[in-house]
Amino acid sequence: MSTRQSCQPLSALRWLLLLACILLSDPCTAKTSYVDDNAPAGGDGLHWTSAFCHLQDALAVAERNNEIRVAQGLYYPDRGENHVLGDRSATFELRSGVVIFGGYGGLSCEDPNQRDVDQYASILCGDLLDNDLQGAGIFNDNSFHIMTAIDVEGDIVLDGFIIQGGNANGDTWGGGVSIERSQVLLQNCRFEGNLGSLGSASALVIQEADSSVIDCVFAGNKGRCINLVSSDSVFQRCVFEDNQGGAVFSSGLVYGGAGKPSFLDCVFFNNWAGTGGAIFTIDGGRPTFRNCRFINNHASHTGGAIAMGGAWRCRCFSWLSLCR
């Protein structure tokens, strides 16, 4: 029987305390690394003027209580020292206790520490050969998982990135981010244009883990966008729109976990699938919705907004707007 405690809405406060602890930690162990895809090769990452040009190189030297600042630009998981171009299995491996912030102006700005995640887009891209937009698009050479956190002890923070172009086809899950048995805070991120086979979680999979996803957007992904497997994760102020194959799949009992995710102040708009255009939950999945809106979601079979099968229970609080 799982001994994990359910995530509650106050988890956001917990993550703020975590950030404070990391950023105010012992200066002898705390370090900030800088990454800018405009930087020349060979940098040591200690300053913007000597920034790493690949995120992989910053992750390779990151230790607990370290911070990584990433400038606007494109970053690919198959690039960096000891990586092979075009390797679909290459992934950004998140490290314990490491905080990664995107959205910095970097070397292109007078003040490289100026941060605006909308104006200065830091993009983690799985389109390894840069051919997704050429003609009909070629996706079979894209990353299986752009970013992963698997069996990582301690907390991880990823804040302010666009994650696009992952392709979890075959037997893989989580084309954008794959989280297994690890605690991750995803904040101010946008998942778009990720793909997956039927049920394979094109954008995000959280398995046997309780993570927090705050102020994120999941838009235009193909294949069920998110898979939550034995997960009590919390989604707060997130938007799910235009996802083909449905927005969220939730199940419990597969690994003995509870499978009780929470959705707080979220919007589900114009998602569609065969079953459960917005939400499909089975096998003990017990989601909670508080102040959520479901608008213009569709299903060709059943459950335009929510479809539930097996032993399930759904808890809805305050107002819940269901359309189609």
Separation between Cα atoms, residue 289 and residue 3, nearest integer Å: 23
Both tokens assigned to 200? 């394979």
Contact between residue 145 and residue 178 where contact means Cβ atoms under 8 Å apart: yes
- Is 241 contained in some domain? yes
- Is 237 contained in some domain? yes
- Is 132 contained in some domain? yes
Range of the domain at 211: 11-29+117-322
- Is 69 contained in some domain? no
Separation between Cα atoms, residue 273 and residue 220, nearest integer Å: 13
- Is 52 contained in some domain? no
- Is 54 contained in some domain? no
Separation between Cα atoms, residue 183 and residue 156, nearest integer Å: 6
- Is 25 contained in some domain? yes
- Is 5 contained in some domain? no
pLDDT of residue 4: 35
Extract the residue ranges of the chain whose pLDDT is less than 50.
Answer: 1-10, 22-23, 311, 319, 323-324
Number of separate domains in the chain: 1
* pTM of the entire predicted model: 0.88
